[in-house]
Amino acid sequence: MKFNIAKQGGIKARLVYEDKIEGEYLTHLKEKELFSGKAEEVYYTLDSDLKARLFIGLGKEEKIDFEVLRKTFFKVSGELLKNKAGEVELNIPKLNNLCNYRIASAIAEGMLQAAYKYDTFKSERKEAPELVVNYNPIKGKEHRAEKGVNEAVKLMEAVCLARDLVNQPANVIYPETLAQTAKDKLESKGVKVSIYGKKEIEDLKMEAFLSVARASAKEPKLIVMEYYNNPESDEKIALVGKGVTYDSGGYAIKPADSMVDMFCDMGGAAAVIGAVHALAGLEAKVNVVGVVAACENMISGDGFRNGDIIGSMSGKTIEIINTDAEGRLTLADAVYYATNNLKAAKLIDLATLTGACAAALGEQVSGAVTNNDEFFAELERANQRAGELVWKMPNIDYYKKMNESKVADIKNRGGKLGGMMSAGLFVGSFLAKEDIPWIHIDIAGTAYISEAYGYLKEKATGVPVKSLYFMLSKET
Ligand code: BES
Ligand code: MG
Ligand code: ZN
Protein backbone atom coordinates (compact mmCIF):
# COMPACT_ATOMS: atom_id res chain seq x y z
CA MET A 1 0.00 0.00 0.00
CA LYS A 2 1.34 3.40 -0.92
CA PHE A 3 0.28 6.73 0.54
CA ASN A 4 0.59 10.11 -1.18
CA ILE A 5 -0.15 13.33 0.67
CA ALA A 6 -2.05 16.12 -1.10
CA LYS A 7 -2.48 14.36 -4.41
CA GLN A 8 -5.59 13.88 -6.51
CA GLY A 9 -6.58 10.81 -8.50
CA GLY A 10 -8.32 7.46 -8.19
CA ILE A 11 -11.76 6.60 -6.92
CA LYS A 12 -13.06 9.63 -5.09
CA ALA A 13 -14.42 8.52 -1.73
CA ARG A 14 -17.41 10.27 -0.22
CA LEU A 15 -17.52 10.51 3.56
CA VAL A 16 -21.07 10.39 4.88
CA TYR A 17 -22.46 11.18 8.32
CA GLU A 18 -25.40 9.08 9.39
CA ASP A 19 -27.49 12.14 10.21
CA LYS A 20 -26.65 13.97 6.98
CA ILE A 21 -27.96 11.75 4.20
CA GLU A 22 -28.49 14.14 1.29
CA GLY A 23 -29.00 13.93 -2.46
CA GLU A 24 -30.83 11.55 -4.69
CA TYR A 25 -28.27 8.77 -4.81
CA LEU A 26 -27.68 8.52 -1.04
CA THR A 27 -31.36 8.82 -0.26
CA HIS A 28 -32.02 5.95 -2.66
CA LEU A 29 -29.33 3.79 -1.02
CA LYS A 30 -30.81 4.49 2.39
CA GLU A 31 -34.35 3.68 1.27
CA LYS A 32 -33.15 0.38 -0.20
CA GLU A 33 -31.23 -0.31 3.03
CA LEU A 34 -27.96 -0.55 1.13
CA PHE A 35 -26.11 2.21 2.95
CA SER A 36 -27.11 4.58 5.73
CA GLY A 37 -23.87 6.27 6.80
CA LYS A 38 -23.37 4.36 10.05
CA ALA A 39 -19.78 4.06 11.25
CA GLU A 40 -17.90 1.18 9.61
CA GLU A 41 -20.41 1.02 6.76
CA VAL A 42 -18.86 0.96 3.30
CA TYR A 43 -20.64 0.93 -0.04
CA TYR A 44 -18.64 0.27 -3.19
CA THR A 45 -20.23 -0.17 -6.57
CA LEU A 46 -19.51 0.15 -10.27
CA ASP A 47 -21.90 2.27 -12.35
CA SER A 48 -22.98 1.10 -15.79
CA ASP A 49 -20.03 2.93 -17.34
CA LEU A 50 -17.70 1.07 -14.90
CA LYS A 51 -17.05 4.22 -12.91
CA ALA A 52 -16.56 3.25 -9.26
CA ARG A 53 -18.45 4.90 -6.44
CA LEU A 54 -17.32 4.65 -2.84
CA PHE A 55 -19.33 5.81 0.17
CA ILE A 56 -17.83 5.66 3.65
CA GLY A 57 -20.07 5.81 6.72
CA LEU A 58 -18.76 7.81 9.67
CA GLY A 59 -21.75 7.58 12.01
CA LYS A 60 -22.45 10.71 14.06
CA GLU A 61 -19.67 13.28 14.09
CA GLU A 62 -19.56 13.65 17.87
CA LYS A 63 -19.02 9.89 18.22
CA ILE A 64 -15.95 9.76 16.01
CA ASP A 65 -12.74 8.73 17.72
CA PHE A 66 -9.53 7.11 16.53
CA GLU A 67 -10.85 3.61 17.06
CA VAL A 68 -13.95 4.35 14.92
CA LEU A 69 -11.65 5.66 12.20
CA ARG A 70 -9.40 2.61 12.36
CA LYS A 71 -12.33 0.21 12.15
CA THR A 72 -14.06 2.15 9.38
CA PHE A 73 -10.99 2.52 7.18
CA PHE A 74 -10.08 -1.12 7.80
CA LYS A 75 -13.39 -1.92 6.07
CA VAL A 76 -12.75 0.62 3.32
CA SER A 77 -9.35 -0.82 2.60
CA GLY A 78 -10.64 -4.41 2.68
CA GLU A 79 -13.32 -3.52 0.13
CA LEU A 80 -10.86 -1.72 -2.16
CA LEU A 81 -8.33 -4.56 -2.01
CA LYS A 82 -11.02 -7.15 -2.68
CA ASN A 83 -12.19 -5.20 -5.73
CA LYS A 84 -8.64 -4.50 -6.91
CA ALA A 85 -9.59 -0.84 -7.00
CA GLY A 86 -6.02 0.38 -7.57
CA GLU A 87 -6.16 3.99 -6.44
CA VAL A 88 -8.37 5.96 -4.08
CA GLU A 89 -8.65 9.64 -3.26
CA LEU A 90 -9.53 10.56 0.32
CA ASN A 91 -10.41 14.13 1.15
CA ILE A 92 -10.45 14.26 4.92
CA PRO A 93 -12.06 17.26 6.65
CA LYS A 94 -11.72 18.18 10.31
CA LEU A 95 -13.47 15.37 12.19
CA ASN A 96 -15.00 15.93 15.62
CA ASN A 97 -12.23 18.42 16.41
CA LEU A 98 -9.64 15.66 16.49
CA CYS A 99 -6.01 16.44 15.77
CA ASN A 100 -5.16 16.16 12.06
CA TYR A 101 -1.99 14.21 12.62
CA ARG A 102 -3.74 11.60 14.73
CA ILE A 103 -6.65 11.37 12.29
CA ALA A 104 -4.18 10.59 9.51
CA SER A 105 -2.41 8.07 11.69
CA ALA A 106 -5.65 6.25 12.59
CA ILE A 107 -6.97 6.21 9.02
CA ALA A 108 -3.69 4.96 7.57
CA GLU A 109 -3.38 2.35 10.30
CA GLY A 110 -6.89 1.04 9.67
CA MET A 111 -6.13 0.74 5.96
CA LEU A 112 -2.84 -1.06 6.58
CA GLN A 113 -4.47 -3.46 9.06
CA ALA A 114 -6.58 -4.86 6.21
CA ALA A 115 -3.49 -5.75 4.19
CA TYR A 116 -1.99 -8.08 6.81
CA LYS A 117 -2.20 -11.76 6.10
CA TYR A 118 -0.30 -14.82 7.21
CA ASP A 119 0.23 -17.20 4.30
CA THR A 120 3.99 -17.76 4.51
CA PHE A 121 3.66 -21.51 4.20
CA LYS A 122 1.07 -21.71 1.43
CA SER A 123 2.64 -22.95 -1.77
CA GLU A 124 0.23 -20.89 -3.82
CA ARG A 125 0.47 -17.43 -2.36
CA LYS A 126 -1.54 -14.71 -3.99
CA GLU A 127 0.21 -11.41 -4.50
CA ALA A 128 -1.65 -8.72 -2.59
CA PRO A 129 -3.26 -6.23 -4.96
CA GLU A 130 -1.52 -2.84 -4.84
CA LEU A 131 -3.48 0.08 -3.46
CA VAL A 132 -2.48 3.73 -3.80
CA VAL A 133 -4.07 6.05 -1.26
CA ASN A 134 -4.09 9.75 -2.10
CA TYR A 135 -4.64 11.39 1.25
CA ASN A 136 -5.76 15.01 1.29
CA PRO A 137 -6.03 16.70 4.67
CA ILE A 138 -7.47 20.18 5.15
CA LYS A 139 -5.31 22.95 3.70
CA GLY A 140 -2.21 23.78 5.70
CA LYS A 141 -2.14 20.44 7.54
CA GLU A 142 -0.15 18.52 4.94
CA HIS A 143 2.88 18.12 7.20
CA ARG A 144 0.75 16.93 10.09
CA ALA A 145 -0.95 14.39 7.85
CA GLU A 146 2.39 13.22 6.56
CA LYS A 147 3.64 12.75 10.11
CA GLY A 148 0.52 10.73 10.97
CA VAL A 149 0.75 8.48 7.93
CA ASN A 150 4.44 7.89 8.56
CA GLU A 151 3.70 6.98 12.17
CA ALA A 152 1.07 4.45 11.09
CA VAL A 153 3.32 2.90 8.45
CA LYS A 154 6.20 2.41 10.92
CA LEU A 155 3.90 1.23 13.70
CA MET A 156 2.25 -1.34 11.45
CA GLU A 157 5.64 -2.58 10.29
CA ALA A 158 6.43 -3.25 13.96
CA VAL A 159 3.02 -4.79 14.70
CA CYS A 160 3.30 -7.08 11.65
CA LEU A 161 6.80 -8.11 12.67
CA ALA A 162 5.43 -9.17 16.06
CA ARG A 163 2.54 -11.00 14.36
CA ASP A 164 4.83 -12.88 11.97
CA LEU A 165 7.05 -13.96 14.85
CA VAL A 166 4.06 -15.30 16.81
CA ASN A 167 2.33 -16.93 13.85
CA GLN A 168 5.31 -18.95 12.70
CA PRO A 169 5.55 -22.40 14.28
CA ALA A 170 8.22 -23.60 16.68
CA ASN A 171 10.20 -25.53 14.06
CA VAL A 172 10.83 -22.18 12.38
CA ILE A 173 10.98 -19.74 15.29
CA TYR A 174 13.14 -21.13 18.12
CA PRO A 175 15.57 -19.27 20.38
CA GLU A 176 18.30 -18.89 17.78
CA THR A 177 16.03 -17.75 14.93
CA LEU A 178 14.09 -15.47 17.25
CA ALA A 179 17.36 -13.84 18.33
CA GLN A 180 18.63 -13.62 14.77
CA THR A 181 15.39 -12.01 13.57
CA ALA A 182 15.65 -9.42 16.35
CA LYS A 183 19.21 -8.67 15.25
CA ASP A 184 18.35 -8.49 11.55
CA LYS A 185 15.35 -6.25 12.06
CA LEU A 186 16.68 -3.98 14.80
CA GLU A 187 20.37 -3.33 14.18
CA SER A 188 19.70 -1.41 10.98
CA LYS A 189 17.48 0.88 13.07
CA GLY A 190 20.29 1.77 15.47
CA VAL A 191 19.48 -0.76 18.19
CA LYS A 192 22.34 -2.69 19.77
CA VAL A 193 21.35 -6.36 19.90
CA SER A 194 23.42 -8.74 22.05
CA ILE A 195 22.77 -12.47 21.95
CA TYR A 196 24.13 -14.63 24.77
CA GLY A 197 24.34 -18.42 24.51
CA LYS A 198 24.26 -21.20 27.10
CA LYS A 199 27.79 -20.65 28.39
CA GLU A 200 27.17 -16.96 29.09
CA ILE A 201 23.75 -17.69 30.62
CA GLU A 202 25.47 -20.19 32.93
CA ASP A 203 28.09 -17.58 33.86
CA LEU A 204 25.21 -15.26 34.82
CA LYS A 205 23.84 -18.04 37.05
CA MET A 206 20.38 -17.92 35.52
CA GLU A 207 19.40 -21.25 37.00
CA ALA A 208 15.65 -20.76 36.73
CA PHE A 209 15.89 -19.93 33.02
CA LEU A 210 18.31 -22.82 32.42
CA SER A 211 16.06 -25.30 34.23
CA VAL A 212 13.22 -24.60 31.81
CA ALA A 213 15.59 -24.78 28.82
CA ARG A 214 17.34 -27.96 29.89
CA ALA A 215 15.22 -30.60 28.15
CA SER A 216 15.36 -28.90 24.78
CA ALA A 217 17.80 -29.76 22.02
CA LYS A 218 17.71 -26.08 21.06
CA GLU A 219 20.18 -23.82 22.82
CA PRO A 220 18.61 -21.07 24.96
CA LYS A 221 19.42 -17.48 24.04
CA LEU A 222 19.36 -14.37 26.17
CA ILE A 223 18.48 -11.48 23.85
CA VAL A 224 19.26 -7.92 24.96
CA MET A 225 18.14 -4.99 22.79
CA GLU A 226 19.39 -1.53 23.73
CA TYR A 227 18.10 1.69 22.24
CA TYR A 228 19.28 4.78 24.04
CA ASN A 229 18.02 7.95 22.39
CA ASN A 230 17.43 10.37 25.24
CA PRO A 231 20.74 11.85 26.35
CA GLU A 232 18.92 14.27 28.68
CA SER A 233 17.92 11.43 30.98
CA ASP A 234 19.95 8.64 32.54
CA GLU A 235 16.76 6.71 33.28
CA LYS A 236 16.34 3.42 31.47
CA ILE A 237 13.07 1.56 31.05
CA ALA A 238 13.09 -2.20 30.54
CA LEU A 239 10.66 -4.25 28.47
CA VAL A 240 10.92 -7.92 29.38
CA GLY A 241 9.12 -10.46 27.21
CA LYS A 242 8.38 -14.13 27.78
CA GLY A 243 10.13 -15.97 24.99
CA VAL A 244 9.12 -19.61 25.36
CA THR A 245 9.25 -20.58 21.70
CA TYR A 246 7.36 -23.77 22.47
CA ASP A 247 5.57 -24.84 25.63
CA SER A 248 4.87 -28.56 25.77
CA GLY A 249 4.31 -28.23 29.52
CA GLY A 250 7.40 -30.32 30.25
CA TYR A 251 6.73 -33.29 32.56
CA ALA A 252 3.44 -31.60 33.48
CA ILE A 253 2.68 -32.25 29.83
CA LYS A 254 -0.22 -30.48 28.18
CA PRO A 255 -3.00 -32.41 26.45
CA ALA A 256 -2.46 -32.54 22.66
CA ASP A 257 -5.19 -30.02 21.86
CA SER A 258 -3.84 -27.39 24.26
CA MET A 259 -0.34 -27.87 22.88
CA VAL A 260 -1.02 -27.19 19.20
CA ASP A 261 -0.82 -23.40 19.43
CA MET A 262 1.94 -23.28 22.03
CA PHE A 263 4.36 -21.82 19.51
CA CYS A 264 2.58 -18.59 20.45
CA ASP A 265 4.19 -18.67 23.89
CA MET A 266 6.80 -16.13 22.81
CA GLY A 267 4.11 -13.48 22.29
CA GLY A 268 5.66 -11.31 25.01
CA ALA A 269 9.05 -11.48 23.32
CA ALA A 270 7.47 -10.60 19.98
CA ALA A 271 5.74 -7.60 21.57
CA VAL A 272 9.06 -6.40 23.00
CA ILE A 273 10.88 -6.81 19.68
CA GLY A 274 8.00 -5.05 17.90
CA ALA A 275 7.88 -2.19 20.42
CA VAL A 276 11.64 -1.59 20.20
CA HIS A 277 11.32 -1.70 16.40
CA ALA A 278 8.61 0.97 16.49
CA LEU A 279 10.48 3.18 18.99
CA ALA A 280 13.71 3.02 17.00
CA GLY A 281 11.95 3.30 13.63
CA LEU A 282 10.20 6.46 14.75
CA GLU A 283 13.27 7.72 16.62
CA ALA A 284 11.44 8.10 19.92
CA LYS A 285 13.29 10.04 22.59
CA VAL A 286 13.62 7.26 25.10
CA ASN A 287 16.18 4.98 26.73
CA VAL A 288 14.78 1.51 26.44
CA VAL A 289 16.21 -1.95 26.88
CA GLY A 290 14.41 -5.11 25.78
CA VAL A 291 15.25 -8.40 27.46
CA VAL A 292 14.11 -11.85 26.34
CA ALA A 293 15.16 -15.14 27.92
CA ALA A 294 14.30 -17.40 24.98
CA CYS A 295 14.01 -21.17 25.31
CA GLU A 296 11.74 -24.16 24.72
CA ASN A 297 9.89 -26.05 27.46
CA MET A 298 10.37 -29.66 26.37
CA ILE A 299 10.73 -33.17 27.80
CA SER A 300 13.83 -35.35 28.06
CA GLY A 301 15.61 -37.65 30.50
CA ASP A 302 17.34 -34.54 31.81
CA GLY A 303 14.26 -32.34 32.09
CA PHE A 304 13.42 -30.57 35.34
CA ARG A 305 10.65 -32.19 37.36
CA ASN A 306 7.64 -31.33 39.48
CA GLY A 307 9.05 -31.30 43.01
CA ASP A 308 12.55 -30.09 42.12
CA ILE A 309 14.02 -27.19 44.05
CA ILE A 310 16.11 -24.91 41.87
CA GLY A 311 18.09 -21.70 42.27
CA SER A 312 17.78 -18.44 40.36
CA MET A 313 20.02 -15.55 39.40
CA SER A 314 18.67 -13.48 42.29
CA GLY A 315 19.75 -16.16 44.77
CA LYS A 316 16.15 -17.07 45.67
CA THR A 317 15.37 -20.79 45.67
CA ILE A 318 12.23 -21.99 43.88
CA GLU A 319 10.15 -25.08 44.51
CA ILE A 320 8.80 -26.43 41.21
CA ILE A 321 5.20 -27.47 41.73
CA ASN A 322 4.44 -27.60 38.03
CA THR A 323 6.86 -27.59 35.08
CA ASP A 324 4.08 -26.05 32.97
CA ALA A 325 4.36 -22.86 35.03
CA GLU A 326 7.63 -22.20 33.21
CA GLY A 327 7.14 -18.69 31.91
CA ARG A 328 7.49 -17.09 35.33
CA LEU A 329 10.79 -18.95 35.83
CA THR A 330 12.32 -17.57 32.65
CA LEU A 331 10.94 -14.11 33.51
CA ALA A 332 12.31 -14.28 37.06
CA ASP A 333 15.90 -14.31 35.79
CA ALA A 334 15.21 -11.84 32.98
CA VAL A 335 13.55 -9.35 35.34
CA TYR A 336 16.37 -9.67 37.86
CA TYR A 337 18.98 -9.21 35.14
CA ALA A 338 17.20 -6.12 33.72
CA THR A 339 16.94 -4.40 37.09
CA ASN A 340 20.15 -5.60 38.76
CA ASN A 341 22.69 -5.79 35.91
CA LEU A 342 21.20 -3.31 33.44
CA LYS A 343 19.91 -1.00 36.20
CA ALA A 344 16.52 -0.36 34.63
CA ALA A 345 14.60 2.23 36.67
CA LYS A 346 11.18 1.00 35.51
CA LEU A 347 10.03 -2.27 34.06
CA ILE A 348 7.15 -3.70 32.07
CA ASP A 349 6.98 -7.44 31.53
CA LEU A 350 4.79 -9.01 28.87
CA ALA A 351 3.86 -12.65 28.83
CA THR A 352 1.44 -15.26 27.59
CA LEU A 353 1.58 -16.37 31.18
CA THR A 354 -1.67 -17.94 32.40
CA GLY A 355 -4.75 -19.69 31.13
CA ALA A 356 -6.38 -18.05 34.17
CA CYS A 357 -6.00 -14.62 32.58
CA ALA A 358 -7.61 -15.81 29.34
CA ALA A 359 -10.41 -17.45 31.33
CA ALA A 360 -11.09 -14.25 33.29
CA LEU A 361 -10.84 -11.64 30.52
CA GLY A 362 -11.18 -13.47 27.21
CA GLU A 363 -9.39 -12.55 24.00
CA GLN A 364 -9.92 -8.81 23.76
CA VAL A 365 -8.57 -7.55 27.09
CA SER A 366 -5.13 -8.17 28.56
CA GLY A 367 -4.68 -8.45 32.32
CA ALA A 368 -2.25 -6.42 34.40
CA VAL A 369 -0.68 -6.49 37.84
CA THR A 370 1.30 -3.48 39.04
CA ASN A 371 3.01 -2.03 42.09
CA ASN A 372 2.59 1.59 40.92
CA ASP A 373 -0.70 3.23 39.96
CA GLU A 374 0.94 6.34 38.48
CA PHE A 375 2.99 4.22 36.14
CA PHE A 376 -0.12 2.23 35.24
CA ALA A 377 -2.00 5.47 34.46
CA GLU A 378 0.62 6.16 31.76
CA LEU A 379 -0.16 2.78 30.22
CA GLU A 380 -3.88 3.48 30.35
CA ARG A 381 -3.44 6.72 28.41
CA ALA A 382 -1.42 4.84 25.82
CA ASN A 383 -4.06 2.12 25.59
CA GLN A 384 -6.65 4.79 24.91
CA ARG A 385 -4.55 6.23 22.13
CA ALA A 386 -3.78 2.80 20.66
CA GLY A 387 -7.21 1.24 20.92
CA GLU A 388 -5.89 -1.65 23.04
CA LEU A 389 -7.47 -2.80 26.30
CA VAL A 390 -5.72 -3.71 29.54
CA TRP A 391 -7.53 -4.35 32.81
CA LYS A 392 -5.73 -3.90 36.14
CA MET A 393 -6.18 -6.80 38.56
CA PRO A 394 -5.81 -6.45 42.35
CA ASN A 395 -2.36 -6.61 43.90
CA ILE A 396 -2.86 -7.62 47.51
CA ASP A 397 -0.91 -9.84 49.90
CA TYR A 398 -3.53 -12.58 49.63
CA TYR A 399 -2.18 -13.47 46.16
CA LYS A 400 1.45 -13.04 47.14
CA LYS A 401 1.05 -15.46 50.05
CA MET A 402 -0.18 -18.10 47.62
CA ASN A 403 3.41 -18.36 46.37
CA GLU A 404 4.91 -19.21 49.77
CA SER A 405 6.72 -22.53 49.83
CA LYS A 406 7.35 -24.73 52.87
CA VAL A 407 10.72 -25.89 51.59
CA ALA A 408 12.10 -23.10 49.38
CA ASP A 409 11.92 -19.30 49.22
CA ILE A 410 9.03 -19.34 46.78
CA LYS A 411 7.05 -21.83 44.69
CA ASN A 412 6.13 -21.60 41.03
CA ARG A 413 2.43 -22.24 41.38
CA GLY A 414 0.06 -20.31 43.66
CA GLY A 415 -3.07 -22.36 43.98
CA LYS A 416 -6.13 -23.37 42.07
CA LEU A 417 -7.67 -19.91 42.29
CA GLY A 418 -6.42 -16.43 41.42
CA GLY A 419 -3.74 -17.87 39.15
CA MET A 420 -3.22 -14.75 37.09
CA MET A 421 -2.35 -12.60 40.11
CA SER A 422 -0.13 -15.13 41.88
CA ALA A 423 1.78 -15.68 38.62
CA GLY A 424 2.20 -11.94 38.08
CA LEU A 425 3.36 -11.38 41.65
CA PHE A 426 5.84 -14.25 41.33
CA VAL A 427 7.45 -12.33 38.46
CA GLY A 428 7.37 -9.03 40.40
CA SER A 429 9.16 -10.58 43.36
CA PHE A 430 12.31 -10.84 41.22
CA LEU A 431 12.74 -7.08 40.77
CA ALA A 432 16.18 -6.17 42.17
CA LYS A 433 14.40 -3.55 44.36
CA GLU A 434 10.75 -3.96 45.22
CA ASP A 435 9.89 -0.28 44.72
CA ILE A 436 10.93 -0.19 41.05
CA PRO A 437 7.78 0.86 39.17
CA TRP A 438 6.59 -2.29 37.46
CA ILE A 439 3.68 -3.47 35.33
CA HIS A 440 3.07 -7.08 34.40
CA ILE A 441 0.86 -7.57 31.34
CA ASP A 442 -0.58 -11.05 30.78
CA ILE A 443 -1.38 -11.47 27.09
CA ALA A 444 -2.26 -15.19 27.18
CA GLY A 445 -5.74 -14.41 25.87
CA THR A 446 -4.92 -11.51 23.55
CA ALA A 447 -1.65 -12.29 21.74
CA TYR A 448 -3.09 -15.11 19.66
CA ILE A 449 -6.84 -15.15 19.14
CA SER A 450 -9.29 -17.73 17.81
CA GLU A 451 -11.81 -15.23 16.46
CA ALA A 452 -11.35 -12.01 14.46
CA TYR A 453 -12.80 -8.72 15.78
CA GLY A 454 -12.55 -5.06 14.73
CA TYR A 455 -9.47 -4.81 12.56
CA LEU A 456 -7.72 -7.79 14.13
CA LYS A 457 -7.79 -11.03 12.21
CA GLU A 458 -7.65 -14.43 13.89
CA LYS A 459 -4.27 -15.73 15.17
CA ALA A 460 -1.44 -13.36 16.11
CA THR A 461 -2.49 -9.78 16.97
CA GLY A 462 0.77 -7.99 17.77
CA VAL A 463 -0.82 -6.75 20.99
CA PRO A 464 0.29 -4.52 22.78
CA VAL A 465 3.05 -3.12 20.53
CA LYS A 466 1.08 0.06 19.77
CA SER A 467 0.44 0.89 23.43
CA LEU A 468 4.07 0.32 24.36
CA TYR A 469 5.14 2.63 21.56
CA PHE A 470 2.72 5.38 22.57
CA MET A 471 3.55 5.03 26.25
CA LEU A 472 7.33 5.13 25.88
CA SER A 473 7.43 7.76 23.14
CA LYS A 474 5.01 9.87 25.21
CA GLU A 475 2.81 10.34 22.11
CA THR A 476 -0.38 10.12 24.14
N1 BES B 1 1.91 -20.80 28.18
C2 BES B 1 0.99 -21.12 29.20
C3 BES B 1 -0.17 -20.13 29.33
C4 BES B 1 -1.07 -19.97 28.13
C5 BES B 1 -2.29 -20.59 28.10
C6 BES B 1 -0.73 -19.16 27.08
C7 BES B 1 -3.13 -20.44 27.03
C8 BES B 1 -1.56 -19.00 25.99
C9 BES B 1 -2.78 -19.63 25.98
C10 BES B 1 1.71 -21.20 30.55
O11 BES B 1 3.04 -21.55 30.50
C12 BES B 1 1.03 -22.25 31.34
O13 BES B 1 1.08 -23.38 30.96
N14 BES B 1 0.42 -21.86 32.45
C15 BES B 1 -0.27 -22.75 33.32
C16 BES B 1 0.14 -22.43 34.73
C17 BES B 1 -0.34 -23.42 35.76
C18 BES B 1 0.35 -24.74 35.55
C19 BES B 1 -0.03 -22.86 37.13
C20 BES B 1 -1.77 -22.55 33.13
O21 BES B 1 -2.19 -21.40 32.94
O22 BES B 1 -2.48 -23.54 33.13
MG1 MG C 1 3.35 -23.66 30.55
ZN1 ZN D 1 4.04 -21.09 28.75
The CA radius of gyration of the chain, in Å to the nearest whole number, is 24
Q: How far is the CA of 473 from the centre of ligand 1 (A)?
A: 31
Average pLDDT over residues 364-369: 99
The tens digit of pLDDT for each residue in 140-192 reads: 999 999 999 999 999 999 999 999 999 999 999 999 999 999 999 999 999 99
pLDDT for residue 439: 99
Cα–Cα distance for residue pair 54/12, rounded to 1 Å: 7
The model scores a pTM over 0.85: yes
pLDDT confidence band for 96 (50 / 70 / 90):
very high
Q: DSSP characters for 429-469? A: TTSSSTTS-EEEEE-TTTSEESS-BTTBPSEE--TTHHHHH
Dihedrals phi, psi of 163, to nearest 5 degrees:
-60, -45
Average pLDDT over residues 381-390: 98
pLDDT for residue 455: 98
Cα–Cα distance for residue pair 316/208, rounded to 1 Å: 10
Assess whether 20 and 119 both reside in one domain: yes
Assess whether 75 and 211 both reside in one domain: no
Assess whether 251 and 291 both reside in one domain: yes
Assess whether 245 and 367 both reside in one domain: yes
* Host domain of residue 77: 2-141
Average pLDDT over residues 409-437: 98
Spacing of C-alpha 399 from chain mean position: 27
What torsion, rounded to 10 degrees, do the Cα atoms 318, 321, 323, 324 define?
A: -120
Neighbours of 302 (CB within 10 A): 7
Assess whether 213 and 97 both reside in one domain: no
Ligand 1 pocket test: which of 245, 251, 354 has the largest number of ligand atoms within 8 Å of its C-beta?
Answer: 354
Cα–Cα distance for residue pair 470/106, rounded to 1 Å: 13
Helix (H, G, I), strand (E, B) or coil at 338: helix
Average pLDDT over residues 65-84: 98
The tens digit of pLDDT for each residue in 103-139 reads: 999 999 999 999 999 999 999 988 888 999 999 999 9
Average pLDDT over residues 358-369: 98
Among candidate residues 141, 172, 190, the one where a domain is terminated: 141
pLDDT for residue 128: 83
CATH number at residue 53: 3.40.220.10
Helix (H, G, I), strand (E, B) or coil at 328: helix
Share of the chain above pLDDT 70, in %: 100
CATH number at residue 283: 3.40.630.10
Assess whether 421 and 314 both reside in one domain: yes
Assess whether 118 and 165 both reside in one domain: no
Q: Which of 272, 271, 250 is nearest to 262 (CA)?
A: 250
Assess whether 298 and 348 both reside in one domain: yes
Q: Is residue 152 part of a domain?
A: no
Assess whether 119 and 196 both reside in one domain: no
What torsion, rounded to 10 degrees, do the Cα atoms 354, 358, 359, 365 define?
A: 140
Assess whether 401 and 453 both reside in one domain: yes
Q: Is residue 147 part of a domain?
A: no
Ligand 1 pocket test: which of 261, 298, 353 has the largest number of ligand atoms within 8 Å of its C-beta?
Answer: 353
**94, pLDDT greater than 90:** yes
Q: Residue 403 in contact with residue 425, Cβ under 8 Å?
A: yes
Assess whether 173 and 137 both reside in one domain: no
Q: What is the DSSP letter of 65?
A: -
Assess whether 306 and 374 both reside in one domain: yes
**Is 328 considered catalytic here?**
yes
Q: Which of 363, 332, 361 is nearest to 349 (CA)?
A: 332
**Is 82 considered catalytic here?**
no
Q: Is residue 120 part of a domain?
A: yes
Active-site entry in 75, 214, 328, 400:
328
The tens digit of pLDDT for each residue in 286-326 reads: 999 999 999 999 999 999 999 999 999 999 999 999 999 99
Average pLDDT over residues 35-63: 97
Among candidate residues 141, 176, 204, the one where a domain is terminated: 141
